[in-house]
Structure 1
């Protein structure tokens, strides 16, 4: 069993904006296969209809993850937070309030929409006579009501002001071909957190949904290695 002394390490895995647990399931399965206890809460408003997404606030998104965190902490076990995309912002908020063993962020935005990469993806669709990227952009727009986007921007703004309070070990993972998160987000996070133990790991490919890409296995082993080092 993965533990330190008598305390076990439990992993709280937080999905992204407009998505769901499916975005992070490959990582959850990998870690559970290596005998880690992994928990993946569904954020408020992300489990049903677009109408529910419109009603949910960013504080309710945070509360959804915090309730699971508090439940896990009842046993006195150590908690490691893993946040995909917006889930990384939520992880930072939780770490400001609770004692956290370490944090992993995966494609977490500070600066969003890499328009040049979006352009390249659309060109690729045209050249290859396919619509993979176009379909994904249309689906993303449908999953992102205007009111929900406002809540995301509020979450982003208030999280940036809290980064200096983050002092636990941190691993920042970023796909270089991510069309949703601009690469300078990594530099911003690295510069503004107070963690003495922090590292960056870039992956050349994988896109925003890197855990659903052919790079997923490499990312999973990277996260596992980081957890074992803590």
Structure 2
């Protein structure tokens, strides 16, 4: 068992979400004796208007402060980034030296349009319109400038992948509509880490911590932390 004073974990949530989306993972690690924090990044908890006043740098700044604090108080610090949080995790790992890095459904290539269109066709055939309402809500709630800054963050972080030498765990759901599965291939193949592992979950969509495989995902992350 990892003692609390040996390792700390920073868990970072995704774009247009908050820390509750990764709560199951945070709780899982805490229950097993690892000090874990999951801050809500700047602007993301607020209104759409507030979201549009923050930048990629603001999101990094929040996570940066938490990470530096952990580095000052623990022997080892791991970062786990879900979706956009994985991009922030890449940035922090390259600039401040995390001891372990895990990315979960982290975008290099965004939006699998074929999956979206396939789902829409199935909805129309079955006359089940809840997924269509979900797509509409996502489009309506996504702040324009927030999306622009996500793109800026993506372009800044992609070149950093080749500099990653930290032990790396890459997790990707194969039913993810927001992130194409080949993003995981890119992260895994392009990183310089000598100790890396890639896992695909056949039935997992983007919000993997809400799905049927969430316990397996948490377990895999915990085991990886224990091994490296």
CA contact (8 A) 1:18 1:144 kept: yes
What is the number of residues matched between the two proteins?
A: 228
Superposition deviation, residue 161 in structure 1: 1.3
Structure 1 window deviating more from structure 2 (117-126 vs 36-45): it is: 117-126
- TM-score for both structures, normalised by structure 1: 0.94
For residues 214 and 179 of structure 1, the distance between their equivalents in structure 2, rounded to whole angstroms, comes to 17
Question: Could you tell me which of 46, 56, 63 is aligned with 1:48?
Answer: 46
Name 1:151's counterpart in structure 2: 149
Superposition deviation, residue 7 in structure 1: 5.2
Unaligned runs of 5+ in 2: none
CA contact (8 A) 2:7 2:74 kept: no
Structure 1 window deviating more from structure 2 (217-226 vs 124-133): it is: 124-133
Post-superposition CA distance 1:65-120 (Å, at most 9, x none): 11111111221431100000010000000001112111110000000110111122
Structure 1 window deviating more from structure 2 (139-148 vs 83-92): it is: 139-148
Superposition deviation, residue 48 in structure 1: 1.1
Question: Could you tell me which of 9, 16, 19 is aligned with 2:17?
Answer: 19
CA contact (8 A) 1:83 1:90 kept: yes
Structure 1 window deviating more from structure 2 (173-182 vs 27-36): it is: 27-36
Name 2:180's counterpart in structure 1: 182
Name 1:122's counterpart in structure 2: 120
CA contact (8 A) 1:18 1:140 kept: no
CA contact (8 A) 1:31 1:224 kept: yes
For residues 18 and 216 of structure 1, the distance between their equivalents in structure 2, rounded to whole angstroms, comes to 20
Question: Could you tell me which of 158, 174, 177 is aligned with 1:160?
Answer: 158
- TM-score for both structures, normalised by structure 2: 0.95
For residues 30 and 127 of structure 1, the distance between their equivalents in structure 2, rounded to whole angstroms, comes to 39
Name 1:70's counterpart in structure 2: 68
Name 1:205's counterpart in structure 2: 203
For residues 176 and 74 of structure 2, the distance between their equivalents in structure 1, rounded to whole angstroms, comes to 37
Over aligned residue pairs, what C-alpha RMSD do you find? 1.5
Superposition deviation, residue 167 in structure 1: 0.5
1:132 to 1:213, Cα distance in 2 relative to 1, 3 A: farther
Unaligned runs of 5+ in 1: none
Name 1:96's counterpart in structure 2: 94
For residues 15 and 142 of structure 1, the distance between their equivalents in structure 2, rounded to whole angstroms, comes to 20
CA contact (8 A) 2:10 2:38 kept: yes
What's the secondary structure of 1:55's corresponding residue?
A: coil
For residues 129 and 38 of structure 2, the distance between their equivalents in structure 1, rounded to whole angstroms, comes to 31
